[in-house]
Amino acid sequence: MAAHAATTKTRPLNIMKAGKHKFPELWLDVYVTGTPFEQQQFAELFVRGRCRKAKTPEEADLVVFAGGDDVDPALYGEKAHYTTHFLRERDEADKLLYDLCLSQGIPMLGICRGAQFLHVMQGGKLYQDVDGHTGDHNMYDVIEKRVLPRISSVHHQMVILNDRMILVGACSGKSKVRHLNPTLRDEGSNRDVEAYIYREPCIIG
């Protein structure tokens, strides 16, 4: 980590406004996985934070694992639920990229599927199918201890909280049924994980 961190930008962190949103001036070289459409979406987001596109992961200060198909349940020791659809080629490509980032100490950011994939790479498990996470809802910022309104969700798989992660964002009462595999499920109100951090390696989901 230290060797790579020494190459990152050291400009001061400022907040700039873009509409109703605030973007930190990050000044990072960012490499984004996923389809050209996903890459364009994230490029539009990161350019507001004064970031540049990294041509290769090795040149990046941050590698972003974007959305897409579900994560193969075999990677976390489960059989696939009937709602689970995955591409082994995507999992294999992301695994190679993850190993590269891990070996070179490159920080990783996971969004949607990317957050679920990086959690699985840390030995975590997923709920394969949950209800209540299509549309807007509130999220509780555990670090700042405040409610963030109208967070957008479009996922049916979800990270399961464990002792290694630092919980950053959660919501309560959205999911009522959470399938672990084809035969096991949890029911009732739950604290659903929306955002997390793994300090070692440096991962934000």
Mean pLDDT of the chain: 87
Is the pLDDT at 6 greater than 60? The verdict is: no
Name 144's Cβ contacts closer than 8 Å, sequence gap at least 6: none
Token digits for 147?
């409610």
Within 10 angstroms of residue 157's Cβ, the number of other Cβ atoms is 24
Return the pLDDT at 22: 72
CA distances 178 to 4, 46, 112, 139, 196, Å, are 39, 33, 17, 18, 19
User: d(Cα 1, Cα 3) in Å, to the nearest integer?
Assistant: 6
In whole angstroms, what is the distance from residue 50 CA to residue 13 CA?
A: 11
Element housing 198 (H / E): strand 191-198
What average pLDDT does range 66-79 have in this prediction? 95
C-alpha 204: how far from chain center: 6
Residue pLDDT, tens place only, 94-141: 999 999 999 999 999 999 999 999 999 999 999 999 999 988 889 999
Confidence of residue 42 (pLDDT cuts 50, 70, 90): confident
DSSP string, 78-121: -PPPTT--B-HHHHHHHHHHHHHHHHHT--EEE-THHHHHHHHH
What would the pLDDT profile of 9-40 be if each residue is shown by its tens digit?
444 434 334 445 677 788 999 999 977 888 88
User: Using one digit for the tens of pLDDT, what is the confidence trace for 85-102?
Assistant: 999 999 999 999 999 999
Distance (Å, whole) CA 172 – CA 189: 7
Q: What pLDDT was estimated at residue 177?
A: 95
Q: CB neighbours of 41 closer than 8 A, spacing ≥ 6?
A: none
Of the listed ranges 28-42, 154-168, 169-183, the least confidently predicted one is 28-42
| Per-residue pLDDT at 20 | 59
Return d(Cα 22, Cα 34) in angstroms, integer.
25
Mean pLDDT, residues 39-49 taken together: 83
In this prediction, residues 150-177 reach a mean pLDDT of 92
